[in-house]
Amino acid sequence: MRIGFIGLGNMGRHMARHLIHAGHLVTVHDARPEAAAEHLALGARWAETPADCAQDAEFLITMLPDPRVVETVLLRGGAAEALPAGALWIDMSTSTPAAAERVAAEVLDARGVRRLDAPVSGMARGAEAGTLQIFVGGADDDFRIALPVFEAMGDPDRVLHVGALGAGYTVKLMINLLWFSHLVATSEVLAMGVRAGVDLGVLRNSLLASPAASNFLENDIMCVLADGDYDDSFAMALACKDLGLAVDLGRDLGVSTELSALVEQIYRRSKAQHGALAGEMSPVRLYEALAGREFRLPSPAAALDATTVTV
């Protein structure tokens, strides 16, 4: 298949590489030409502009930072106008239905270009391993046509058709919103427990043995507890962007967002204190400061060896 791929950042560079390895004819474009070096070495073609990347594509995949950039690339960058009639635009960015609808209304609908929204979950390490979960919104026929493309980039068992156009964007925003909320709630609990004198490993195992257990507490936060890694692969600027999109969506839908708005404020405070490029788990550092110590287990093995508590 002839695939144009725009956006070779922390996620997109891996995704495009998997498509090349799968045997697809891939043309790539990024605002930073040097980002395409590994893809060109593998046989991909370089496109000087978004329009060049789209002009012969059966599928155009965009993996971009935010809705504003999506619209810029598709409209002012000429990609939408360059797509052949009958092509399929697959936006895998964390974006909004409104942005895609504006592109469709201005250009795509009149040209007979179809579209899917297909944002992903799994972080940069999932993109590198080809194990992403992909949430696809759009027509069932278009989903089935694009399925081999998705399976080349993600876990085939976790490529999910979640509904009509826009559903993929919405599901991804809700996943991110809940994950960020888990981070804040978990950090607050750990800070209080540790400040009260409970051993960190014992507290964590107690929580895991209780109805309050979560995947975040069991797996995701271990990069902080074991290695002091706040996940620089996803920047605070992007996390705050996603939270803003989710809160805005809730308000547009008439759904109360008090808790989500508070989580967004905490993330923005961390961004101001730790920097826009700090890792997405940097808000943990706010609670480490309140606890008066870093949240660290002596080693990954120590987390397993800590006293097991059953409830």
- Which residue from 181, 189, 281 is spatially nearest to 227, judged by alpha carbons? 281
Give CA 135 to chain center in angstroms: 11
SS3 content of the chain, % helix, strand, coil (to 5): 55, 15, 30
> Measured between alpha carbons, how far is 78 from 222 in angstroms, rounded to an integer?
43
- The tokens describing 164, both together, are 């009509």
**Residues acting as catalytic residues:** 172
> Measured between alpha carbons, how far is 130 from 18 in angstroms, rounded to an integer?
7
- Residue for token pair 């939408």: 80
Element (H, E) at 7: none
HSE-CB of 177 using CA atoms within 13 angstroms: 20
HSE-CB of 262 using CA atoms within 13 angstroms: 8
Tell me, what DSSP letter sits at residue 310?
-
Q: Cβ distance 274 to 282 under 8 Å?
A: yes
- Residue for token pair 């979960």: 133
- The tokens describing 260, both together, are 């989500």
Element (H, E) at 115: strand 114-117
